[in-house]
Structure 1
Amino acid sequence: MNQQLKDALLANLKIKELNEMQQATLEAARDHANMVLLSATGSGKTLAFLIPVLESLDKTIKGTQALIIVPSRELALQIEDVFRKMATGFKVTTCYGGHKREIEENNLLEAPALIIGTPGRLTDHIRRENITTQTIRTLVLDEFDKSLELGFLDELSFIVGALPAVERRMLTSATEAIEIPEFLGLTDVHRLDFLPTNEEQGPRLELYYVNSEEKDKADTLFQFICTTAGRSTIVFCNHRESVERLNQMLQERGLTTTFYHGSMEQREREVALAKFRNGSINTLITTDLAARGLDIPHIRYIVHYHLPATEETFTHRNGRTARMEASGAAVLLLGPGERLPAYLQGTATEMTVDPEATLPEKPKWTTLFIAAGKKDKVNKVDIVGFFAQKGDLKKEDIGVIEVKDFFSFVALRRSQVSHVLHLIKDLKIKGKKVKIAVAK
């Protein structure tokens, strides 16, 4: 990759330069066909493997040339988003459970250069011969340990066995706690280990614990959120039922929260994450589903409402904050009889909450749902123009915009929403009348 192209990529991604890990990965990929990259969550692994993938793509080849396998749909969508922002000119598509297979089949008719997908859905497409595997030369398994942990061993084995022409393999992980299966065919492996040592982790992630007098800990959580003035927070629970119960309790007490877990419909999950990403919601209550693959910047607190089962789970949960150069804090809520895990003894500081703390201010943003997206030829520029011209909004009144295949989300200043909805009632976007409403 020449310097001009590299500079253009970085400009498209709005970053000044590659970090040490990304640069080392790029250089190593030029000399080694098989690689394992170990690097902490939030350190920039996605870009670290996407640039070598891009270097391997050939515009003269019509078929699919690279395949990236991930453990979750959220991670697939995140990687797709980064690749699209790189503006490479190569077609990319994602395949994952919960997405209509018919849409994916249509996207695969003209073979994309890059496919990103989850093991189960990729296996389904390969068996249906929707994916032509003969031209795939590059294989990336991102968070490969999580795919194995989630029980995708058979699917991974099938997919790898269906790739007769793979020449380059890269595995990435935020831990080194798992053995690489033989079916992956990794020989002469070059290993890059950028996992931080304990000494390196300390200053960026602050560790605290809060003692709760009640076993339930719900009151303590409420007081914590009020004490911290509603700063951006993810609350981890071990059970889906607890997630929904806590969310309802906090909302009934006046907090602006949402929840996220694996039993939700895909659209519900998209709405929840969009609201949290754009600042319409400051508290997200979730299971360990959110411990990997969610690219959400500026999270200040990770709260362990339930203690993590293992040190590895604790590490992955905390990877949602203190990302890149940002700082953050992990907070463990301890009920009567609960103690800090052995691996944290002596490293966490007690934090006290103010039982008299008042409710934090409501977020300044509200999320609107727009029933049109990429497949309707609607993009971010169209949405900004529509709300600026028809909704009489200034640029600073329009926040984060996310455009999906068939719908979009836009954050608008809360104080303007009612007036805007009145102004745009019955108006069209790009000549088409679409539903626009506050996202539920």
Structure 2
Amino acid sequence: MNRKDISSYLQPLKIKGLNEMQQATLEAYSRHDDIMLLSDTGSGKTLAYLLPIVQSLQDIAGTQAMIVAPSRELAQQIETVFRQMQTGYKITCCYGGHKREIEENNLLEAPAVIVGTPGRLGDHIRRGNIEVNGISMLLLDEFDKTLESGFTEEVKFIAESLKNVQKRMLVSATESADIPEFIRLKHPAIINFLSAEKEENKLLLHYVHTDDKDKIDTLYRLLCLIGNRAAIIFCNHRDAVKRVSDHLKERGILNVYYHGAMEQTDRDSALAKFRNGSVNFLVTTDIASRGLDIANIRYIVHYHLPATEEVFTHRNGRTARMDASGSVVLMKGPDENIPAYIETAITELQLPEECKLPPKPDWVTLFMPLGKKDKVNKIDIVGFLLQKANLKKEDVGLIEVKDFHSFFAIRRAKTKSVFHLLKDERIKNKKAKISIAK
């Protein structure tokens, strides 16, 4: 494995070199058949395992590697990083929530790498859409989550279907329970880069006390204090997510909500708005505690106290990533206590009685019902906005292009003129049909 080859993959990602964990993973992969990689959230695990996988791919027809992820968002993120590496190899992403026929078409010419969620991958294997005999590499990302109740049987079926696997790798941000025998992990090399705890000056712990059992008024006051800094509000149940989000909107707090039962387009829209800064508050279940790569999250709010220390750790892993700092706020109800597993110093946060609504963000997210399948890419959208809407580069924010639709942020002040100028415009010979993202 030579450095020239590695640098050719790093250059498109604008990464100058590997960190210690990534280098250790490369070296271990060249020496061992079975590997367990444990490293903190945000430390670069995806690149750490994609590099040796790519280095091991042969210029032959057929699928050679399968990556299993517990959520569609993590699977999509892995696919995105792989494509950005510009390897020359084909990858296909398989997950529930959109038409299986799309993936079946993509699988007709077998990709070198398949990434997906356990249920959808198992379905394709049963239907014969995936030729398993050539798959020699199996990777389970967030394996502790993947092996939780509801996924175990599908992962077992996948593992037992892949008869010719020679390399197995399990990846996680936490030390996990026993590994099931069906994974067939034999004397794995353990690469453990988990930090004992985050530096105190990077992750600050606070709590707010509320006499109100539903906590909504206290949350309102807390978000007014947080202002325009990005925050994720974690709830324990889906119905609570929608209820909390609606209450906040009624009181003038701009936010989006996100949980596993939503339609894929609605999930894409919520995450796009939060990523690009069109909204600063995301109300969600623990589905957002893993796999989402969103930068610059300043606050984690535990609206409902986490049930376990592992849940607490994963939620907090969304902030204070890499060299950034972050704050965690636990909302303690009248009959609740700070969990005993929290041994780090935690201080009470005093909320002001007088509240001022956070200002509206400078960005607005627009939706276009055209995407990759329409041959539309980010460069096309930038050119379209600069030429047809008379925008400057600084007026265009984050752009996300999905298979059949796209989201892009523009300056809020430009919204009216953009709609007027783009009303009848076309992109790639198709009517753009721009609208505000729902």
Cα shift readout 1:15-48 (whole Å, capped 9, x = no counterpart) = 2221111111111111111100111222211111
Indicate yes or no: 2:374 matched with 1:369.
no
* Structure 2 unaligned regions, length at least 5: none
Give 4+ residue runs of structure 1 displaced > 4 Å after superposition. Answer: none
Change (3 A) 1:346 1:390: closer
Measure how far apart 1:348 and its partner are. 1.0
C-alpha distance in 2 between matches for 1:388 and 1:84: 26
Q: Aligned AA for 1:404?
A: K
| Correspondence for 2:200 | 202
| Correspondence for 1:147 | 146
| Correspondence for 1:81 | 80
Change (3 A) 1:150 1:203: farther
**Count of residue correspondences:** 438
C-alpha distance in 2 between matches for 1:163 and 1:346: 44
**Segment of structure 1 superposing worse, 317-326 or 392-401:** 317-326
Q: Aligned AA for 2:259?
A: H
Indicate yes or no: 2:292 matched with 1:294.
yes
Change (3 A) 1:196 1:345: closer
Give aligned-pair identity as a percent.
60
Measure how far apart 1:201 and its partner are. 4.2
Q: Aligned AA for 1:295?
A: D
Measure how far apart 1:355 and its partner are. 2.3
| Correspondence for 1:32 | 32
C-alpha distance in 1 between matches for 2:337 and 2:187: 45
Measure how far apart 1:188 and its partner are. 2.7
C-alpha distance in 1 between matches for 2:364 and 2:26: 40
Measure how far apart 1:216 and its partner are. 1.8
Q: Aligned AA for 1:193?
A: N
Measure how far apart 1:438 and its partner are. 0.7
Measure how far apart 1:346 and its partner are. 5.4
C-alpha distance in 1 between matches for 2:45 and 2:275: 20
Measure how far apart 1:345 and its partner are. 4.4
Q: Aligned AA for 2:116?
A: G
Measure how far apart 1:338 and its partner are. 1.5
Cα shift readout 1:394-425 (whole Å, capped 9, x = no counterpart) = 00000000011111111011110110111011
Tell me the TM-score normalized by structure 1.
0.97
| Correspondence for 1:49 | 49
What SS does structure 2 have at the residue aligned with 1:63?
Answer: coil
| Correspondence for 1:244 | 242
Give the root-mean-square deviation of aligned CA atoms: 1.2
Measure how far apart 1:99 and its partner are. 2.1
| Correspondence for 1:215 | 213
What SS does structure 2 have at the residue aligned with 1:83?
Answer: helix
Q: How does 1:37-436 map to 2 (within 5 A)?
A: 37-59=37-59, 61-198=60-197, 200-345=198-343, 347-436=345-434
Tell me the TM-score normalized by structure 2.
0.98
| Correspondence for 1:14 | 14
Q: Aligned AA for 1:164?
A: K
**Segment of structure 1 superposing worse, 200-209 or 252-261:** 200-209
Contact kept, 8 Å, 2:423 with 2:433, in 1: the verdict is: no
Contact kept, 8 Å, 1:367 with 1:438, in 2: the verdict is: yes
Q: Aligned AA for 2:377?
A: N
Cα shift readout 1:241-264 (whole Å, capped 9, x = no counterpart) = 211111111111111101001121
C-alpha distance in 1 between matches for 2:85 and 2:318: 23
Measure how far apart 1:220 and its partner are. 1.0
Measure how far apart 1:3 and its partner are. 2.1
Q: Aligned AA for 1:328?
A: G
Q: Aligned AA for 1:121?
A: R
Q: Aligned AA for 2:185?
A: L
C-alpha distance in 1 between matches for 2:397 and 2:127: 41
Measure how far apart 1:149 and its partner are. 1.1
Contact kept, 8 Å, 2:104 with 2:129, in 1: the verdict is: yes
